[in-house]
């Protein structure tokens, strides 16, 4: 065992991978980062002959090196099974001159399943390894997709409870229906009267409440997180970039060591950070293209070096990216500051106090791997329609942000490097926005009528996740003020 995780805000914190997974967030409010990024120890050609699960093992064993081979393989086997509707787990679809990496074949039809189907196993294994006797309470803020994927992953997992907060008016109708119909006595879903940033900030505050931690501990509970601030979310996300590359190589689409671009529709910066880690593990990636919707705080950051959340929060048709505080960016900031907890803490305090910070020119120079741009609502709808019209392939509103930004990138740079676009959700999850983009005549139809229409035009079978909620009863009706979040947690736990 040689890899340790450190806090982005305090140099003295040093824990193993399993401890980092258990804690979620460092005690000082920082995020855990590996003290170095290990290099892949299998060649890309070897990887190209492996299954998804085998690639997963090769990547994850390096990042989670205090897990035994048996423990890790066991977690992987239990995660990537028939919960996915294809044996490939993450298939690549060639369309419009790019490769769409479909990350939505899991139980809740968004890419969050890629990590959240394994996180419960990583977490319960970590608890065992560290002799934790407390019940683990997963506390999660969601912009729509994490919540359902985490609920599905943790429902009825012994030794765990899960509490999900979502913005009551900030998710799609299907997303909300998926969450409020969740079964499992250990699940609790609450709408808040606020946006995703309010939910995320509220959750972080509960995590930092030392008094509550004491009361929890006495009652036999401890918190952990299913958000992408947990390294147990991030590490499984590295896998599919390596897998995608290995498939392109296996299928003769690229030559050995040929570089590819990766485009990621970005919100909390977790998915694209995983691609950045993949690149640092040795995967031949040229540009990491960060695609934003009209909440374009990251685009502005990459162009100016200033991160500024002081702006209007826009509700868009890609709600899972409606975020002004991209938590995982902190991991990149720490790194480009030369792994300096002091510098990072200074910038994060500034973000907390003034809503903004500016990086130095030395730090900015290290962002050359990244390209940022954004898509307006109109451009986004236009891309869904034009891809459908030209080849019959229907993409969701988040993937469309990525496809739009990729078009802008090509236009601007003339770069013709082969490119993988992370396709983060099934169009069935955002049926109304997707169908409206294709034809305004769908506007008057009901949510499930639209599902059937989408099936007709895309010739893709309606996913089980959608069939399941057609008639499912609503089981979670609580809505609360942001200030009440902590009380709701206490009520559910009976403390």
Catalytic annotation present for 414: no
Site residues for ligand PLP, 102-121, by CB under 6 A, read 110-112
DSSP secondary-structure letter at 166?
A: E
Kindly name the residue from 112, 161, 287, 429 that is annotated as catalytic: 112
232 in contact with ligand PLP (CB under 6 A): no
432 in contact with ligand PLP (CB under 6 A): no
269 in contact with ligand PLP (CB under 6 A): yes
Instruction: Please state at what angle helix 231-250 crosses helix 119-129, rounded to 10 degrees.
Output: 130
Q: Which of 265, 372, 427, 463 binds ligand PLP (CB under 6 A)?
A: 265
3-state percent helix, strand, coil for the chain, nearest multiple of 5 = 50, 15, 35
Of the candidates 148, 187, 149, 141, which has an alpha carbon nearest to the alpha carbon of residue 167?
141
Question: Is the Cβ of residue 325 or residue 493 nearer to ligand PLP in the bound state?
Answer: 325
The C-alpha atoms of residue 344 and residue 350 are separated, in whole angstroms, by 10
Question: Is the Cβ of residue 16 or residue 407 nearer to ligand PLP in the bound state?
Answer: 407
Site residues for ligand PLP, 156-175, by CB under 6 A, read none
268 in contact with ligand PLP (CB under 6 A): yes
Please answer whether residues 216 and 493 qualify as being in contact, where contact means their C-beta atoms are separated by less than 8 angstroms: yes
Of the candidates 300, 5, 217, 27, which has an alpha carbon nearest to the alpha carbon of residue 126?
5
145 in contact with ligand PLP (CB under 6 A): yes
Q: Write each residue from 367 to 406 as x if it is in contact with ligand PLP (CB under 6 A), else as -, in one continuous string.
A: -------------------------------x--------
Give me 42's structure tokens. 């299998």
424 in contact with ligand PLP (CB under 6 A): yes
> Strand, coil or helix: what is 165?
strand
Beta carbon of residue 114, minimum distance to ligand PLP (angstroms, whole number): 10
From 79-87, 264-272, 403-411, 470-478, span contacting ligand PLP (CB under 6 A): 264-272
Of the candidates 191, 184, 181, which has an alpha carbon nearest to the alpha carbon of residue 470?
181
Which residues neighbour 353 within 8 Å (Cβ) at sequence distance 6 or greater? none
Q: Which of 29, 153, 202, 267 binds ligand PLP (CB under 6 A)?
A: 267
Beta carbon of residue 301, minimum distance to ligand PLP (angstroms, whole number): 13
Distance of CA 282 to CAs 137, 275, 318, 349, Å? 36, 11, 32, 33
Indicate the burial class of 469 (C-beta count within 10 angstroms; 0-12, 13-18, 19 or more).
buried
Give me 82's structure tokens. 């028939």
Of the candidates 376, 406, 373, 388, which has an alpha carbon nearest to the alpha carbon of residue 316?
376
Neighbouring-strand partners of residue 284: none
225 in contact with ligand PLP (CB under 6 A): no
Question: Is the Cβ of residue 266 or residue 431 nearer to ligand PLP in the bound state?
Answer: 266
Question: Is the Cβ of residue 192 or residue 402 nearer to ligand PLP in the bound state?
Answer: 402
Tell me, by CB under 6 A, how many residues bind ligand PLP.
17
271 in contact with ligand PLP (CB under 6 A): yes
Residues lying near ligand PLP in the complex (CB under 6 A) are found at 110-112, 145, 228, 265-271, 320-321, 398, 424-425
Q: Which residues are catalytic?
A: 112
């Amino acid at each position: 065992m040689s890899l340790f995780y450190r806090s982005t805000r305090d140099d003295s914190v040093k824990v193993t991978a399993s401890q980092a997974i258990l804690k979620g967030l460092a005690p000082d409010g920082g995020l855990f980062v590996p003290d170095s990024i290990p290099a892949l120890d299998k060649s890309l050609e070897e990887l190209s002959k492996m299954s998804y699960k085998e690639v997963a093992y090769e990547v994850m064993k390096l990042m989670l090196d205090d897990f035994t081979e048996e423990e890790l393989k066991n977690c992987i086997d239990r995660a990537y099974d028939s919960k996915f509707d294809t044996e490939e787990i993450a298939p690549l679809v060639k369309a419009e001159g790019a490769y769409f990496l479909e990350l939505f074949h899991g139980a809740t039809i968004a890419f969050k399943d890629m990590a959240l189907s394994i996180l419960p196993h990583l977490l319960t294994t970590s608890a065992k390894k560290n002799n934790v006797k407390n019940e683990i309470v997963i506390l999660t803020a969601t912009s729509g997709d994490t919540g359902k994927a985490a609920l599905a992953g943790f429902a009825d997992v012994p030794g765990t409870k899960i509490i999900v907060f979502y913005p009551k008016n900030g998710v799609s109708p299907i997303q909300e229906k998926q969450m409020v119909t969740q079964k499992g006595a250990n699940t609790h879903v609450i709408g808040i009267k606020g946006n995703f940033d309010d939910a995320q900030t509220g959750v972080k505050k509960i995590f930092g409440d030392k008094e509550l931690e004491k009361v929890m501990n006495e009652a036999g509970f401890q918190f952990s997180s299913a958000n992408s601030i947990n390294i147990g979310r991030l590490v499984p996300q590295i896998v599919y970039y390596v897998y995608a590359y290995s498939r392109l190589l296996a299928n003769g689409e690229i030559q050995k060591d040929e570089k590819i671009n990766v485009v990621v529709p970005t919100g909390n910066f977790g998915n694209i950070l995983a691609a950045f880690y993949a690149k640092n593990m040795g995967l031949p990636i040229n540009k990491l293209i960060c695609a934003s919707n009209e909440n374009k705080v990251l685009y502005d950051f990459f162009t100016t070096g200033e991160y500024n959340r002081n702006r209007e929060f826009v509700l868009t048709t890609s709600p899972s990216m409606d975020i002004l505080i991209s938590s995982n960016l902190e991991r990149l900031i720490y790194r480009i500051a030369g792994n300096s907890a002091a510098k990072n803490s200074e910038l994060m305090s500034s973000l907390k106090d003034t809503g903004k910070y500016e990086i130095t020119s030395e730090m900015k120079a290290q962002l050359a791997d990244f390209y940022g741009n954004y898509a307006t609502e109109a451009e986004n709808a236009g891309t869904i329609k034009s891809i459908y019209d030209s080849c019959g392939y229907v993409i969701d509103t988040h993937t469309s942000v990525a496809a739009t930004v990729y078009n802008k990138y090509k236009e601007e740079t003339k770069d013709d490097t082969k490119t993988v676009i992370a396709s983060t959700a099934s169009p069935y999850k955002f049926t109304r926005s997707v169908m409206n983009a294709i034809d305004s005549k769908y506007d008057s139809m009901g949510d499930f009528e639209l599902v059937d229409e989408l099936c007709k035009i895309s010739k893709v079978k309606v996913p089980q996740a959608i069939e399941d909620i057609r008639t499912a009863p609503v089981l979670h009706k609580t809505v609360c003020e942001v200030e009440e979040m902590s009380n709701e947690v206490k009520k559910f736990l009976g403390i």
